[in-house]
Amino acid sequence: MNILVTNPTSRLSREIVQSLTFAHEVELAAGPFSHGETQNELVKDVDVVLHSLQDSPSIDESERLDQAMRQTYNLLWACVQERVSRFVFLSSLSSMKAYPENYIVNEKWRPLPTTEINGLCFHLAEFVCREYGRERSIDVRVLRLGDLDWDGKTGSDSVLHGADAVNGVMRAIEFDLEPGSWAPASTWNVFHLQSGGPLKPSRFSTRKAEAELGFIPEGIQK
C-alpha cells in the first residue's frame, strides 16, 4: 500500500514509519494542509492517510485549533477527491477521563471534553472525521490513545505502551473490518487503545479493538 503519514516529528509517527517501510511505500507530510490542488497532489495515488496533530510549544492555541478543524477538514476533502480508501486519525482518551475512575468506558460512551486545549483539539478533529465517515465517502477510523509511555515509567491509569500503540495503529492501517459482534462494518469507527494486565485492568475497554482489529496489548506487568 501507499501510505501518507503526517506529523513526522513525533516519536510515535517515526516508530510507525519504521514498521511500515518493511511492507509498504511511505511518504511523510508535515503540513500545514491547505484547500486546493497542492493538497490533492499530496494524496494522489495514496491508499491510507495516517493523521495526527502536532503538539509543539511554538504553536499557539489559535493555530492548534486551526490544525484540528480546518486543516483536518482540508486533508479529508483532498482524500475524498482523490479516492483515498482509508483515513486513520490518532486521537486521545482525554475526552473520556471525566467519567469516574471505577467505570469501564467503551467507545459507545459520549465524550466529555473540557476547555483544556489538547483535549479540545482532539475532540474537534474527531468531530470533523465523524462527519466525513458518516457520509460514507471514506473509511474513517479514529484511535483514541491512552497516555503514551516509551520507558515504562508512566504511572497513568490509562497508560499505552509504545509497542502497543505501534501495534494498534498498524492494525488499523492494514486490517479490513468485517461485520462482527459490535456493529456491521461501516465507514466510521472509533477504537480505544490502552495497555493493561491482570494486575491493573484497563480503565477504558479495548474489547472492540481486540475483536475488530486483533489488537492484543502486551500488558503492563514485567
pTM: 0.92
Cis peptide before 32 (omega within 30 of 0): yes
Domains in the chain with CATH codes: 2-213 (3.40.50.720)
Average pLDDT of the chain to the nearest whole number: 90
Kindly report the CA angle at 180 between 178 and 183, in degrees rounded to 5? 100
Measure the CA–CA gap between 67 and 26, rounded to whole angstroms: 22
Q: What is the pLDDT of residues 41-73, one digit of tens each?
A: 999 999 999 999 988 777 899 999 999 999 999
pLDDT of residue 137: 81
Query: What residue has cell string 484547500?
Result: 35
Where helices occur in the chain by DSSP H, the ranges are: 11-20, 37-43, 61-66, 72-81, 117-134, 162-174, 207-213
pLDDT of residue 8: 92
pLDDT exceeds cutoff 90 at 201: no
51 strand-pairing partners: 89
User: Exposed (0-12), middle (13-18) or buried (19+): which is 105, by Cβ within 10 Å?
Assistant: buried
Residues 31-46: what's their mean pLDDT?
A: 92
Of the chain, the percentage scoring pLDDT greater than 70 comes to: 93
Q: What is the pLDDT of residues 106-153, one digit of tens each?
A: 999 999 999 999 999 999 999 999 999 988 789 999 999 999 998 877
**CA-CA distances (angstroms) from residue 19 to 93, 110, 155?**
24, 33, 27
